[in-house]
Amino acid sequence: MKRQFISLFILVMILLSFGIGFTQDVLTKPLVWPDYVKRGKLDNGLNYAIIEHQKPKDRMLAYILIQAGSLQETDSERGIAHYIEHMGFNGSKHFPPGELVKYFASIGTDMGPSINAYTSFDRTVYMVEVSTEKEEYIDKSLIALSDYAAGMLLTHEEVEKERGIILEELRLGSTLDRRIFEQDIAITLKGSLYPERLPIGLEETITKFTHEDLKKFYSNWYRPDLMTLVVVGDIKVPEIEKKIKDIFLEISAPEGNKPDLTVPFKPHSEIYTGVITDPELNFLIYKLSPGTFFNEN
């Protein structure tokens, strides 16, 4: 049942992340949302969707998606979106440093499986799954998501404490699979920004970020008109909608126009080729872009 619950949730998140949604004819026929999805938009620009789904019983899953990831970074900011994602757990308006993870652990919501986040090329997503047996758990979950959206403290002390953790994640991620992926994407998406903006970033930029750098990126990109909140679970839709309005309308409307999220990509008619290899590989990978791998032992 939980797998069905999460699959439904992921489908809604994918649809919402495209902004205008999928289209039947791509250009002419807009998406028709099913009646069971309650959608809305706050005055500050934040979009939301709510689905009542009673299996599993007494559970709620909530995500907030920010349409900003590593592609929104400058050359000197490589890795900063991911750094900010980490900082969401290190002190915010309603949860002093160390308190957010401690509180959710006290109600059976452990870091990792039930409260987590990730950074991708075009988005940063924070998620929490809690019991709905107590209204307090629902309220605290939505407040935590609102803190990720607009309440991070990003203090100098906490930024410095987190730096070593991120550098260790970078080191541990330097695996054979990752090195192959980096060579692969450099061929597949040659001429685009993607190969130069892997979300983990670079050691030389990560070591230089200050808390002011993080605050600047956070202020520029964490704006409600680039956010979508999704709540799915054994809940009452009108009650959740009221809570969303009460909590998330406190986020100030953004100044200035919504930034252009288009990432330039120049189509090419020629075929890009390359050889992917590594000291740990016992074969070569010949790559044609787009499309095919050939292995030679």
CB 16 within 8 A of CB 228: yes
pLDDT given at position 293 = 44
CB 247 within 8 A of CB 143: yes
Active site amino acids:
85
Name 286's bridge partners: 275, 294
Buried b (16+ CB within 10 A) or exposed e, 102-136: ebbeebebeeeebbebebeebbbbbbbbbbbeeee
Q: Which fold has domain 2-266?
A: Cytochrome Bc1 Complex; Chain A, domain 1 (3.30.830)
- pLDDT digit string, tens, across residues 4-18: 555 555 555 555 555
> Would you call 295 helix, strand, or coil by DSSP?
strand
pLDDT given at position 274 = 83
- pLDDT digit string, tens, across residues 142-178: 999 999 999 999 999 999 999 999 999 999 999 999 9
- pLDDT digit string, tens, across residues 263-285: 887 777 788 888 888 888 877 66
| Annotated domain spans of the chain | 2-266, 270-297
